[in-house]
Structure 1
Amino acid sequence: MTLSLEWIDEREGGAGEREERWIDVLEKLLKIAGEKEGVDRGIVTLTLTDEEGIRELNRQYRGLDKPTDVLSFSMIEGEQADIRYEEEYESSGDDSEGWEDEVQANDPFSDLLGDIVISVPRAESQAEEYGHSFERELGFLFVHGFLHLLGYDHGNEEEEREMFAKQEQVLQEAGLTR
């Protein structure tokens, strides 16, 4: 298993050719960010949604009744790490690069790093507001969400500087400049 991206488009009308190009960029960013963070295996699920979709999630999981640009739901930190599963579930696959840790090998959720949800309309408006391309804004939000999955936060100035510097390095390496 390698580091991979799965995605869902929940917006009315769904995905089209434009979104397929976005996914190529996001897969490149995931590879670069994963390499920089020493993450070489796992699954990240991305959901593209609209303002109401992300507002509902923000209300439900953060108690904030307003839309936002990106949300992350990690499967590897905090309480999420304690998810239990029934004995009858099988491992997530019979691949030759299996987990060396026996507990992880028998855990069907061990490959899941977490979920990232991005509001496409919010990304579009922020790209315009900040004067850069939509692809850069989408990439910024995606890398931001990925770093949150790994436990990074920006609750204070020092954490914010570290997290945003990491994001910028990944974006620069991918050619998504301002």
Structure 2
Amino acid sequence: MIQVELYKETSCPIRAEAIKKVVRTVLKILNKKNHLSLSVAVVKNSTSRTLNRIWRGIDRPTSVLSFSVRPSSESSQKGKKELFILPPREKNFVGEIIIADSVVKKEAQQNNYSYPEEFNYLFVHGFLHLLGYQHDNYSSRKNMEKQEKRILQKLKIKRCL
């Protein structure tokens, strides 16, 4: 079972059921188990900017941020140990994706995509991060882009990568 908790600071048109459909598609393509939960927050620029400044040291809003409950390969390599203690009923929680509504609108308009197309692209990108994909070097970036392309084609989203 897939559980999506959707929090909206704005009146974006995205619904939790639509996100679940994308999650199912991603998991099927990647041959992953179909039993997880995640949180998605669609936020204002001010919230995105604050989170981006706190977590990445970049003082501007960003389109998407992912907060995984599992250690990333990057933090493991640096000897850091990320630890999240989840209640037993939440053991399948993979993390949270933060998407900035106005950045989605702006990028969709600039690139001639619909709002849902741009939102779904950003969601897929963030969700792949929750599943452990990274783009911190050439090889990992190419692999992540390959998966994004496969998923977007399956979802019939015409977006250039």
1:84 CA displacement: 3.5
Distance (Å, rounded) in 2 between the aligned partners of 1:130 and 1:168: 17
Distance (Å, rounded) in 2 between the aligned partners of 1:155 and 1:122: 23
Are the aligned partners of 2:99 and 2:122 in contact in 1 as well (CA < 8 Å)? yes
Aligned residue for 2:33, secondary structure, equals coil
Are the aligned partners of 2:14 and 2:116 in contact in 1 as well (CA < 8 Å)? no
Q: Which residue of 2 aligns with 1:84?
A: 85
Are the aligned partners of 1:135 and 1:176 in contact in 2 as well (CA < 8 Å)? no
Where do 5+ consecutive residues of structure 1 fail to align? 93-108
Distance (Å, rounded) in 2 between the aligned partners of 1:174 and 1:24: 15
Distance (Å, rounded) in 2 between the aligned partners of 1:136 and 1:161: 21
Task: Name which one, 1 or 2, has greater alpha-carbon Rg.
Answer: 1
Distance (Å, rounded) in 1 between the aligned partners of 2:145 and 2:26: 13
Q: Note the alpha carbon deviations across 1:154-177, whole angstroms, 9 max, x for none.
A: 112222221112112112111222
Q: Are 1:36 and 2:35 counterparts?
A: no
- Which one is further off, 130-139 or 114-123? 130-139
- Which one is further off, 155-164 or 51-60? 155-164
Q: Are 1:118 and 2:86 counterparts?
A: no
Q: 1:84 to 1:44 in 2, by over 3 A?
A: closer
Query: Which of the numbers 20, 39, 42 marks the counterpart of 1:45?
Result: 39
Q: Which residue of 1 aligns with 2:48?
A: 54
Distance (Å, rounded) in 1 between the aligned partners of 2:3 and 2:153: 21
Distance (Å, rounded) in 1 between the aligned partners of 2:147 and 2:23: 13
Aligned residue for 1:47, secondary structure, equals strand
Distance (Å, rounded) in 2 between the aligned partners of 1:44 and 1:115: 6
Percent of counterpart pairs with the same letter? Answer: 27
Query: Which of the numbers 4, 19, 32 marks the counterpart of 2:14?
Result: 19
Normalising by structure 2, we get a TM-score of 0.84
Normalising by structure 1, we get a TM-score of 0.77
Within 5 Å, which residues of 2 pair with 1:159-174? 159-174=140-155
Q: Are 1:176 and 2:157 counterparts?
A: yes
Distance (Å, rounded) in 2 between the aligned partners of 1:165 and 1:149: 16
- Which one is further off, 59-68 or 43-52? 59-68
Distance (Å, rounded) in 1 between the aligned partners of 2:33 and 2:58: 31
Are the aligned partners of 2:64 and 2:126 in contact in 1 as well (CA < 8 Å)? yes
